[in-house]
Structure 1
Amino acid sequence: MSLFPASALRPGVRKREVFGWAMYDFANSGYTTVVITAVFAAYFVGGIAGSAPWATFAWTAALAISYAIVMVTMPAIGAWSDRHGAKKRALMWSTAACVLATLSLAVTPRFSGAAGVALAMALVILSNAFYSYGESLTGAFLPELATAEGMGKVSGWGWGFGYIGGMLALGICLAYVLWSQSRGLPASHFVPVTMLITATLYGVAACVTFVLLPERARPRLQRPGQGPWAQLRSTFQEARAYRDFMWLLACTVSYQAGVAVAITLAAIYAEQVIGFVAQETMVLIVVLNLAAALGAFVFGYLQDRLGHKLSLAGTLIAWIGVCVIAASVTSKGGFWWAAALAGVSMGSSQSAGRALTGYLAPPDRAAEFFGLWTFATRLASIVGPLSYGAITWATGGNQRVAILATSVFFVGGLLLLLPIRIQRGRDAALAASGASR
């Protein structure tokens, strides 16, 4: 199979296992695309919260709370999974919880006022937290599947499958929304159905992962367990010995803050600044996902040829271009170009970052160290959107200034990428695990 040459997969890893692993990205991407970006976010602000002045803040606060929970708890969950050889078991539980919480979002239109807002916020906090656990745990399988030379390819296939899954979920939801609107049905009717569609696709597709992807790790119960706070401190203290990994975490916080702005605020910017209507916004997100899938696939292969560091740097430069274009264009046509470049940049930067994390993490502590990566990405998901909101507020609602200022996060990511020495970091990770290259 030319897509996965022998050098890309570790000895004994079958291609069906890689397909099963990639299918989890396919499964969970519908959640972020439909719930966080395109459908439920807008419905929460305009429908459940009635477009109140505090509605957008309430939405971002719910996301921030969920990210804060994940930041504190994920390293402990990762360490437990490594210690018990139970990444797959933890992944199954987190998936089931996210699917159930997403299904429960369908009942939120039945409640009104403060009760409806509180219920929706609570379910978003729960569903997004469990989604984040699953994203981290599936990433921790990457070092078990791919060789050092193949992590970019395999990670790229995962992200690429993910964006295809996101497009499928959003496409089905868009078709149902258009059908409902043509019959005069309100959002309180069709939004709950989109939640059922999203949760069902997530659960069904994830079953492919659970059937095909084995748990290769073995329990290491001699390593004592700790509480979440103690585990977080312990993991950070031990990770300081891996200086290139720590530089990568700092780099990740910076550039992922900018990526988080694109994920959580692209639809709002398109509608409020450029003048998109709801249907146009959903089509825009589909195209963005298509471009992101292409970026993840192509850059996965380029990354293994050009090197992890150079590939990630290239995607960050592209992100700076996205911010400049989005801040300057005034037409819908111009914004489509910015969205297409953003999609390619999103797929490539997320794939490159995950592959580099797997490359620099000690192989026998992959879930624990991916917990730190999740800490970094969730911290970024708080810092980025809140900074955007603060700048918008301070400038009297000028989102063009806010999106241009977002480029600072990508410039910071480039600067923090410079001190990383890839081979030095890889040697340190392998030495700690007693593994061979």
Structure 2
Amino acid sequence: MALFPQSALQPGVRKREVFGWAMYDFANSGYTTVVITAVFAAYFVGGIAQGAPWGAFAWTLALSISYGLVMVTMPAIGAWADLHAAKKRVLILATSGCVVGTAALALTPRVDGFSGVLVAMALVIFSNTFYSYGESLTGAFLPELATADGMGKVSGWGWGFGYIGGMLALGLCLAYVLWAQSRGLPAAHFVPVTMLITAVLYGVAACVTFVLLPERAVPQARAEKSSAWRQLRSTFREARKYRDFMWLLACTVSYQGGVAVAITLAAIYAEQVIGFVPNETMVLIFVLNIAAALGAFVFGYWQDRIGHRRSLAGTLLAWIAVCVIAASVTTKGGFWWAASIAGLAMGSSQSAGRAMTGVLAPPGQLAEFFGLWTFATRLASIIGPLSYGLITWATGGNQRVAILATAVLFVAGLLMLLPIDMRRGREAALRA
């Protein structure tokens, strides 16, 4: 914990509390790495859906439904948690839901036929919804722990812990997969075990958070009752006064849709199109996570030197190159090049977008404007993968066309970046 000074923390906050908070990033990263990206995604399409042309669409539909549920319900859940000072209680419930849902995915190979597809989709919707609740709630603790000047340091420390946790979960799963394959066991045997490994690691590591992280908020006497959509409309009306921020939201929906495709479909593409086997896919995702961590860290210094908008534009160009390379290569070596560039671009593009949001958001309304940014990223998580799945289905399972079409999202994001004037947007934010 010597990576940042005590001055980065709010008065009375101890470093062990920050460690407990960062451990939640460590805990939940295994879910996205193993379930959403590396293992279960590919197994769902190739094993449960048996490689059917609609398999990728069914996978993206399940994720889209979960993201839609989160978009509709999370503002109201957050408001209730603030009103009752219950962020930690709700975080425990959300974590329990995701852990149980992840463990239940181990049962999916036992259900045959289309019923198995429906059961797997239902469990993915359930687990991913609760995962998203936990991700949002843990972020709400950050302003209670860090000062404005220390927010980046503390957040970055948690981000780094997240990559370590994701790689640990994937490493344990990879070790078991290699052991199982050496004994001739099929994916229907070792994939369920990886779900149990992920669920146990998530639950055990999250307990550190629950022990060390206190609930510092106090219950409010009363609050205005409003629906999630009414709250969203109110915040959106306020944000419309800031045209540069609104262009950033549009840009975010577009390019983050492409990023969501990479996160949710990389393993499926690697196995279904390029010919990777499960253990090779897991190594690929492991290396991609390392590249993403390096990209986010190094890029943070670069973007401060050349400017946020120019930096994001550079990463979007890199993403376009990734789509073109991935759509055209036929060898595993060629796809490794695409994956390496994607890893670097993933960490850097997400870092740049969040930094731009911080610059353009009025200092007195940070939570509201970051809430809109979160809404945009969730909407992107629906648009990108669902479009990929629909194109794959419409072309009879041709994922090369789908990945090439994903480049359009990055091109659109690049075009929407052009009208943004960071200086003008910052002045508008400060006037507020």
Shorter-normalised TM range: 0.7 to 0.9
Residue 137 (structure 1) aligned with residue 143 (structure 2): no
In 2 relative to 1, CA 398–41 (structure 1 residues): closer, same or farther, beyond 3 Å? closer
Instruction: Sort the Cα spacing of 1:399 and 1:55 in 2 relative to 1 into closer, same or farther, 3 A.
Output: closer
1:80 touches 1:225 (CA, 8 Å); kept in 2? no
- For residues 112-155 of structure 1, give each alpha carbon's deviation from its aligned partner in whole angstroms, at most 9, with x where no partner exists: 23433222211110111111122222233344444555544444
CA shift for structure 1 position 389: 3.1
Letter in 2 for 1:246: M
Bigger drift between 186-195 and 285-294 goes to 186-195
Task: Specify the code of the residue in structure 1 equivalent to 2:279.
Answer: Q
Q: How far apart, CA to CA, are the structure 2 residues paired with 1:34 and 1:5?
A: 34
Q: Within 5 A, what are the aligned runs for 1:18-417?
A: 18-303=18-303, 308-357=308-357, 360=360, 369-393=369-393, 397-417=397-417
1:166-188 CA deviation, whole Å, 9 max, x = no partner? 11111111111111122222323
Give distance in 1, aligned partners of 2:375 and 2:420: 19
Does the 8 Å contact 2:326/2:403 carry over to 1?
A: yes
Contact 1:103 1:195 survives alignment (8 Å): yes
TM-score for both structures, normalised by structure 2: 0.87
Deviation at 1:238, TM superposition (A): 3.5
Letter in 2 for 1:333: G
Offset at residue 218 of structure 1 (A)? 4.6
Alignment match, 1:435: none
- Which structure 1 segments of 5+ residues have no match? 433-437
1:15 deviation in Å?
4.0
Residue identity matched to 2:131: Y
Q: Please report the RMSD computed on the Cα atoms of aligned residues, expressed in angstroms.
A: 3.1
8 Å Cα contact 2:42/2:271 also seen in 1: no
The one-letter code of the counterpart of 2:98 is C
Structure 2 CA distance for partners of 1:95 and 1:407, relative to 1, 3 Å: same
TM-score, L = length of structure 1: 0.86
Number of equivalent positions:
432
Q: CA deviation at 1:354?
A: 3.7
After superposition, the Cα gap between the structure-2 partners of 1:263 and 1:383, relative to the gap in structure 1 and judged at 3 Å, is: same
Cα deviation, residue 303, structure 1? 4.8
Cα distance per residue 1:245-300 (max 9 Å; x no partner): 43332222111100011011111222233222222111111111111122223334
Output one character per residue of 1:339-378: Cα deviation in whole Å (capped at 9) or x when no partner: 1111121122223334544555567766555443332122
Q: What's the offset of the Cα at 1:71?
A: 1.5
CA distance in 1, matches of 2:87, 2:382: 26
Deviations 1:375-407 (CA, angstroms, capped at 9, x unpaired): 212211121122223444555554334323322
- Superposition deviation, residue 196 in structure 1: 1.0
Q: For each residue in 1:208-252, what CA deviation from the matched residue of structure 2 results, as whole angstroms up to 9, or x when unmatched?
A: 233333444454554312223333333333443454443332222
Q: Look up the equivalent residue of 2:61 and give its one-letter code.
A: A
Between 355-364 and 154-163, the greater mean CA deviation after superposition? 355-364
Distance change >3 Å, CA 234–CA 48, structure 1 → 2: same
**For residues 256 and 341 of structure 1, what CA distance do their matches in structure 2 show?**
16
- Structure 2 distance, partners of 1:398, 1:112, is 26
The alignment-based identity, stated in percent, is 81
Residue 4 of structure 1: how far off its partner (Å) = 2.7
- CA–CA distance in structure 2, aligned partners of residues 326 and 111 of structure 1: 34
Equivalent position amino acid for 1:417 in 2: L
- Could you tell me which amino acid in structure 2 is paired with residue 64 of structure 1? S
